Structures are given as C-alpha cells and as structure tokens.
Chain A
Amino acid sequence: MITRRQFFKGGIAAFTVGYAAPEFLSDLARAQGAASRTLVVLDLTGGNDGLSFLVPYTDSFYYSRRPTIAIPAGTVLQVGADSSGKALGLHPKLTGLQEIFNQGRLAIVQRAGYENSSRSHFSGTDIWSTGNPPNTQGSGWLGRYLSTVKPLDPLSAWTTTGDTPHALQSSGVPVASVPNVAGYAFASPNGGAEAALERTAAANIASHVPVDQPHVAFVGASVQAAMATLDRVATVAQYKPSVAYPNNGFGQALQAVAGAMVKGLGTRVFFVTTGGYDTHASQDPITDTGAYARLMTTLDGGLKAFFDDLKGTGLLSDTLVLSFSEFGRRISENGSRGTDHGAASPMLAMGGLVRGGLYGTAASLNPDAANPTLENNGADVHFETDFRSVYARIIDNWLGGDSVGVLGGNFRKPGLDFV
C-alpha cells in the first residue's frame, strides 16, 4: 500500500502518468528513471507454432513438409526480410500487428529457445518461468527481479490469472491475482451499513501484528495488503477505454491491465495468458474458422486494442509487452493435420519505445540432418537466441535492474537491442 510518506519519497514517478498528465509531467516522470515503466508478460500457452505465426513463405520445404497446413504465399502479410535476406510474412489474421510493425513498434525475435529444448509443457513452462533450465523448481525470473524492487507494493505484480504464475513466484514477493476486477472486492453476507461495519472490523483485526507468531503475522499481512488494495483495484472497474476491446478472456484481461495502468496503481509487472496453442490436430491456420486462425484473431484483436488504447492515453511509451510460449512445434505436419511439440519459436516485444523489426534469422527448413538451423534430425527448429538474452535486455534496459543478478549469469547479447 502506498502511504502518504512513501508517495512523497517516491516523487512524481510514484503516480506514473495517468489522468492525461501534462506533457512536462510525463517527461519529468520518465526522467526519474524506469520507475514508471510497466512490463506486460504474455504467455501463449500450449506451444506456439512459430512457422504459422511468422511464415517463411519463400522456403520450398515449408510447403513440401506441410502439405495441408501451409499458408499460401499470396496471403501472408509482408514484413520484409530478416538480416539473412529471407523474406517473411505474418499470419494473414495479424493485420493489427502488421500495422504496429510498420510503425516500428513491434520486434520479433526469431528462434528463441535454449539448448536441449524440453518438449514437455510443464517442464518447458518451468524453464521459461525460472530462466534456469537445470533447476526448474526454483523461483521465477520476474519474481526474482521484483524482489530487488524497493519499496515493493502489494500491487507491484498483478496476474490476470487465478493462480500465481511460476514466473512471478519468489519468496516475499506479493502478487495480486486479479482474474476479474469486479471480483476483487470486499464481499459481505450483509448489505449497507452492516457491510461497512464488517469491513472496518476486518481491517482492524488485520492491523494487529502478533509478533510472537510470525506465521500468523505473515497471513495477516496478506489480509492487510488485500484490504489496502481493494479500493485501488476497484477504480479499474470504472475504467472506460478509448477503444473497444474484443469480448473474450484475453481482450478483457488486457483491458483490465490498461485500466490499472491508466489509474496509476503502480504495478510494475503484469502477467496475462491466452491458451489453446497445443495444436496437435486440425490446426488449420488457413480458413477463418480454423483453430490456428482463430488463435491469431484473438491475439491480434487483443494486442491491437491494447496498443491503440495506450497510445490514446499517452502511456504507450511506458509499456512493453513481451510474449513467450513454452516451445515451438515440429516443422512437418503430423497425421492429423496438426503439429507436435518442437523446439524454438519467436518471441514478440511491443511498445512505444520498442525498436521494431525482425531480430535474428529464420531457419532453413531443409530436413538435412546436417542443417545447423534445425535439430532432432531436421525435425525441429534449433534456437539461435537464448531466451534469457531477451530477458536480460528487458531487465537491464527496460526495468533498470541487473540481469546478471536476476538470471544468475551474463546472458547479454550484442545486437539484441529491441528496447
């Protein structure tokens, strides 16, 4: 909770630049460093098929290895060529992202992954969450970053999921789990004045700290933090976005994130998920109603609305969206017109200060076992950029943290300067 004293200590940056602040004020806030910057981490759960997302439409092996699920070259959305000269196109449903790409505010890091990529959803997710492939049961990378932030507020980390994502978990780091803003409220079995009495009593009860019982005190602090954040979160329910968000879970989650930012709640890291990427069968990225095409429609609609909304409120330059998925998928389609678990896949970074473009190089899909851009006897895309290099760039250059400390090693990669 922000006390009056902390507010003054935090200075102007402590209330970020909501409420259509005058330009000089937002410049001042930015000048105070990274304290007002927000990171929105987006988990595409299930394993995103990178080759349907960013299509290598000039690679003949893409078509020969995917006889029924390759996207026709004439329909992809052109985004030019990568540094190796390979022309690539976005999925046809990503019209909003193409527009953002053309504005230079979308970066795509190709072939992100790590050595000996896990093909398991849960260990893959743990690896991406911890940033520590050898020990995937430890704390999350975002949680470790947050544990270095002072002061930490109960709303510093906000997940739109019902549980606490592994990436945010770290001892002593509170995470507000707000799957639904309207539900993040003090409910009462009674109405009116009686409910108000209960709320006062609950706050009073939680204010006593039993120093001789640290375990009770710990839970009591959680109650206190909940009570102290209720009203701030409730303001988000009043948020009227400047654009219409798609009426699906992903769109609504992003609307809540935008609301929290505009209302100036001080959250540093948001976590949002959208699922359904485990496309083993009937993947169909081509027809409008196909499974993968619908995933892209959902993704594009949500992100474009979010981008436009933040642009309208002046917060775009304080926002960075980063997407990841636990693995990419096999290059060749399987017997059920889908794709099985693979290895590397692209990551997205989007925001007002992003240096857009295509980072890294696309794989050659030639199934020759000696093809160095593939692995597993030419079955899967081999990683080129360690995902922790992407994390490192964000920790160092966006959040103002120390990536070596947070990631337990130096993963900085020259040239990976998307932000």
Chain B
Amino acid sequence: MADPRIEHLLRRAGFGASADDLAVFGNLSYGAAVDRVINYELVPDDVDSKIGQPGYVGMTSNGAFSPNTAINDARQRWLFRMVHSNRPLQEKMALFWHNYFATGYTKLAGAIQAANATRALAAKPSEDPAGQKGQIELFRERALGPLSEMLVAVAQDPAMLVWLDGNTNTKAKPQENFGRELMELFTRGVGFYTEDDVYAAARVFTGWNLQGDTRSTTGAFGFVYNPNAHETTAKTFSFPIYGDGGRTIPSRSASAGMQDGIDLIGALAGHPETARRLATKLYGFFVSETSDPPSSFIDRLAQMYLQSGTRIGPVIQYLFSSAEFQAPSAYFSRYSWPVEYVVKAMKETGWTGFSLGSTLSPLVSMGQQLFEPPDVAGWSLGRDWFSTGAMLTRMNFASTLAGNQKFNLSTAAAPAKQSPQAVLNYMLSRMTMPDVTGAVYNDLLAYAGAVTGTWTGSTAQMQAKTSGLAHLILGSAEYQFL
C-alpha cells in the first residue's frame, strides 16, 4: 500500500482493509479512493448472496439461519456485511445512524414479540412475507441523503413508533417521548428547547401511530396517520418553524394535521444548532476523538450541510477530502467501537473457518450488542468502551480468533520463517496500528524469539508464534485505535 491515507480512509469510512480490499484500492489515487467509497451505489450490493459460501466468515445459528426473524441471526448478518460488503461506507453509516437513532430490541420484543421485533429492526423487505422493512434497511437506504427526509422516515418507522411510544400518542393522552428526543437527541440538542416545546411537539405528533398485525409473524404493520387522534389546535414553539420567522404551527383540520409534523421536522433539520451538533458528531466519528474539533472546521461542515439541503453525502465528501482528515495526526485517533474492533481484527487476521457466532457473547461483554443500545442516547463512546472487563474481553476475543486462525496465519507467514524477527515484521505488516517502536517492539521481539532450543521455523514454532503474536498485537492498547 503506497498511500497511508487510503488505509486511514478504509479504517474510518469502513471497517479496515482485508487483502482483497487492498487489491481493489491499492492502485487508486486518494481522490479516486474517496470517490469509490462515497459513490457506493455504483458497486453491486450482492454481499448477502455470499453468506454460507466457502471463503467467507461463517455463521452459527439456532436452527435455520433466520436473519429476518431471529435477532442473533440478524446481528450476524450485519456483522457479515461489515466484514465482506464492497460498500463499506454504507454499513459504516448504518452503524452511525443506529447509534444516532438508537433503538433497542428488548423493549420492542416486549411489545410486539421477538420475531416481530427482529422484523421491525432488521428485515429485508425482499425476504419478508409482508415486505416489512427493518429500521436498519432504512438507515442503509438513506445513509447519505437529506436528514430532513431521514427524520420523517424515522418518525414513521415501526420500530421507532414502539421504541419511543409514538404508537400511544393521541390527543386524549399526548405522549412526549418522541417529541422530546427528536429535539434533544436527533436535532437541536439539550439547551435549545424548552419544556413547553416538548408539550407542543407531543401534540404535533398526536395521531402518528402504528397499525396492522403485530401478533402473527407474517403480518404487515406500519405507520398510520390517525386524524381522529390528532390534536388540531395551533402549536407555538420557542424557535422559528417557518422561513418568515413564524413560531406557530397553525390550527389545521384533523385530516390535514399530519402536516404539523412535517413542518416541525423540516424546521428542526434546517436549524443551525442541528447543523453544528451533527457536524460535531461526524467529526468525532470520522476525524478524531483525541483533539477538540476546530470551531472553524465545524462551521464549514455545518455550512455544507445547510447549503446542500441537509444532505449528508456532500458533508462526508468534504470531510474525507479535507486536510484535517488526511493529516497524519488524525491517524489512529479514534477509539474503536467493539464491533469495529472485532470486524477489523477479522479482516486483518483472517476468517476462514471462523464463525460470527463466536463474536456475539464477547461483543456483549465488550459493551456493544448490535440492536441493543443502552438507551435512546446510544452508546457511550471513546474512553467509556474501555473498562477493565471490557478490555479483557477484547484480549480474550483476540486469543479466540488467533487460535482459530493458527493454521492460516502460519501458512501465510511461511515466507518469513527464517527468523523470529521476520515473522514479527510480517505480522506487524498485516495488522494496522500506530507504528510500534522501541520498548513495545522489543517486547514483541523478545516473545517471538523465546523458544525451547533453537529457532528452526518448524510448523509447531510458526503456529505458536504467529498466533501468539496476533493475540498480543490485537490485545495491545495501540491496536484499539482506528
């Protein structure tokens, strides 16, 4: 790999690079690599057809693989996509939005049963008997589109309607949950709305309910606007709703009342506070968590967002093309999320003969179970991932993976078997992490060279040392950064 910026790009815009990924991107210029990553619509979306094929990471399921109705299978299908998709940015953005609109399986399962909770979160419409579309598919579809449209789709998404209780929001009993989070977490942020705004927003979304069959596992269920449940009086906010500065959504007839919500979402998506808040989140996700975002850079991202009609794609394009993103000081300045760590480790270590089922329990202990964020605020990022037990789980996952890949690793490293140092250098070239120098390198070298008798490069020595080194590298503090 000639250009280190491309590997940096693939760690951030995707989940790291396997040898196959490097073959695709290796000969591109940086600009061409950015284009390829962003214009993923041009790349065939055939990754799911590879599930179960030889040469790809495996699955472990309880009975027939049922990713549309069994949540652990849905988790594995998503992880499979992170490992193998040729559209890495689409999966990365889906993960970003999953954290942004954090929706949890357990509450849904309690309300609409396990199979339908899985359908609501993860069903592929083409595979569902009623064409049900899981929330994660919505995130994929709209990953780089306008936030204003994403917000409407999320407000009408069955999983969200259950998760934030929109399904019970009626004029008789206005439900504040969604309206509050819409302003607090999805747009303006804490401090930029009042409690009166919360009451008004609850009334705006009265009648945005769920209808259909949530009892059978083949029925259709989805959004409905219930005019009879809509509260028709005017709603006044503390911030502008309309271009002329007007703060009041006018009284409308019940049949026309759905427009209230469209007006509010449109206003919220286009507010400068929303733009800055989103820009700050994108900076932390893509650029750096170890330095404060420069105010001028956030301003530029926010401007880009507002000028492009709240579209995310142009913001991302600008971001990846920026000097701030490409600066070597930005490399490895992002704490990996558990799923990012697990997927990158598999991409760099190997997966043949490994099952994604072996990642599920460790991911829980690392603190990130997909489709089960701790609450609507999403996961606590950065340092919060690294409690003692969570870090030990990462180290032990590294051991499991390295042990599983012992044969593959020693075979691949065979050309370097002349010396422990050559084997170490090979392993370090395979794994991407900050340059390992000085004391850490010497510790690894001392381990590689510690053998009974003399170094012969025998199969036994190679298997022990390649797997041992993979374990130590993947379990090091340095490797936990992207």
Contacts and interface: CB of A to CB of B under 8 A. Distances in A.
Contacts of B452: 193
B388 A225 contact: yes
Contact of B468 (A171, A189, A225): A189
A188 B399 contact: yes
B447 A197 contact: yes
A162 B365 contact: yes
Contact of A215 (B333, B374, B392, B450): B333
Contacts of B46: none
Contact of B467 (A122, A183, A184, A190): A190
Nearest to A190: B464
A198 interface: yes
Nearest to A206: B477
A214 B476 CA distance: 15
Interface stretch (B67-75, B196-204, B375-383, B413-421): B375-383
B406 A154 contact: no
Interface in A40-66: none
B292 to A, nearest CB: 13
Given A219-B480, A226-B395, A205 B472 contact: yes
Contacts of B367: 162-164, 177
B376 A177 contact: no
Contacts of B375: 122-123, 125-126
A205 B438 CA distance: 11
A122 B447 CA distance: 47
A178 B388 CA distance: 9
Contacts of A162: 364-365, 367
Given A122-B376, A219-B477, A183 B396 contact: yes
Interface in B415-438: 434, 438
Contacts of A217: 477
B363 to A, nearest CB: 9
Interface in A160-194: 162-164, 166, 169, 171, 174-179, 183-190, 193-194
Contacts of B476: 202, 205-206, 223
- Most B C-beta atoms less than 10 A away, residue of A190, A215, A229: A215
A208 interface: yes
Contacts of B289: 215
A183 B393 CA distance: 9
A6 interface: no
B477 A216 contact: yes
Nearest to A122: B375
Given A164-B367, A179-B365, A215-B290, A186 B387 contact: no
A198 B374 contact: no
Overall SS of chain B's interface: helix
B16 interface: no
Nearest to A189: B403
Contacts of B399: 187-189
A223 B464 contact: no
Contacts of A135: 190
B475 interface: yes
Given A121-B107, A179-B365, A226-B391, A194 B386 contact: no
Contact of B383 (A184, A198, A218, A278): A218
Contact of B386 (A125, A189, A200, A222): A222
A215 B389 CA distance: 18
Contacts of B396: 183, 185-187
A186 B333 CA distance: 27
Interface residues of A, number: 57
B42 interface: no
B388 A169 contact: no
A163 B478 CA distance: 23
Given A176-B388, A205-B476, A216-B481, A223 B471 contact: no
A204 interface: yes
A177 B387 contact: yes
Contacts of B443: 201, 204-205, 208
A189 B477 CA distance: 19
A164 B368 CA distance: 11
Contacts of B389: 159, 175-179, 184, 226
B383 A223 contact: no
Contacts of B434: 213, 216
Interface string B459-475: 00000100110111001
Contacts of A334: none
A121 B384 CA distance: 22
Given A184-B392, A188-B468, A190-B468, A122 B107 contact: yes
B388 A278 contact: no
B395 A187 contact: yes
Interface in B437-459: 438-440, 443-444, 446-447, 450, 452
A131 B402 CA distance: 43
A294 interface: no
A120 B165 contact: yes
Contact of A164 (B110, B290, B387, B481): B387
A360 interface: no
Interface string A216-246: 1111101101100110000000000000000
Given A169-B384, A187-B400, A202-B395, A177 B471 contact: no
A222 B374 contact: no
Contacts of A184: 389, 392
B308 to A, nearest CB: 30
8 contacts: A175-B389, A188-B399, A189-B399, A197-B450, A198-B472, A208-B439, A222-B386, A225-B391
5 closest A-B pairs by beta carbon, nearest first, are A177-B389, A189-B403, A220-B477, A201-B447, A219-B477
Given A204-B446, A223-B476, 14 more contacts: A122-B104, A122-B376, A175-B389, A176-B388, A186-B396, A190-B403, A201-B444, A201-B472, A206-B476, A215-B335, A216-B477, A219-B477, A278-B110, A280-B110
